[in-house]
Amino acid sequence: AQKVTQAQTEISVVEKEDVTLDCVYETRDTTYYLFWYKQPPSGELVFLIRRNSFDEQNEISGRYSWNFQKSTSSFNFTITASQVVDSAVYFCALSEAYTNAGGTSYGKLTFGQGTILTVHP
């Protein structure tokens, strides 16, 4: 089963529209972290936000906001008043804790399939 599901493969909006990108995750851990990354057409991956499993407060950063709901295992991302520069692939990711054979604890990032957002002028 997918650990991170981004059900929307592609979204197309017109500038100034609000858009919400959905992310649903699956884990048995009580401690985990969630992330969003942006991959613009230039190809680099840009970190947007990190959220731990104990902090369900919504976060707002400029036109970006994130809604974390443990009850529905969702971590949705909303862009308000979208702009052409928001056009990108957006990835949601889950980090769970593992311990390797040598006893080292680490977090492994599992990405969703990505949502391609196109904002038209």
Interface contacts to other proteins, rule CB under 8 A: 33, 35, 37, 39, 43-47, 50, 52, 89, 91, 95, 97, 100, 102, 104-111, 113-114, 116
For other proteins, give the closer residue by CB, 17 or 113: 113
Q: How far is the CB of 120 from other proteins (least distance, A)?
A: 21
Tell me the HSE value of 56 on the side-chain side, using a 13 A CA sphere.
6
Q: How far is the CB of 2 from other proteins (least distance, A)?
A: 11
Angle value at C-alpha 41, between 5 and 3, nearest 5 degrees: 15
For other proteins, give the closer residue by CB, 61 or 105: 105
Q: Which residues pair with 65 in a beta bridge?
A: 60, 78
List the one residue out of 77, 89, 91 whose CA is nearest residue 116: 89
Q: How far is the CB of 49 from other proteins (least distance, A)?
A: 8
Residues sharing a CB contact under 8 Å with residue 102, sequence separation 6 or more, in sequence order = none
Tokens of 99: 């311990």
Q: How far is the CB of 113 from other proteins (least distance, A)?
A: 6
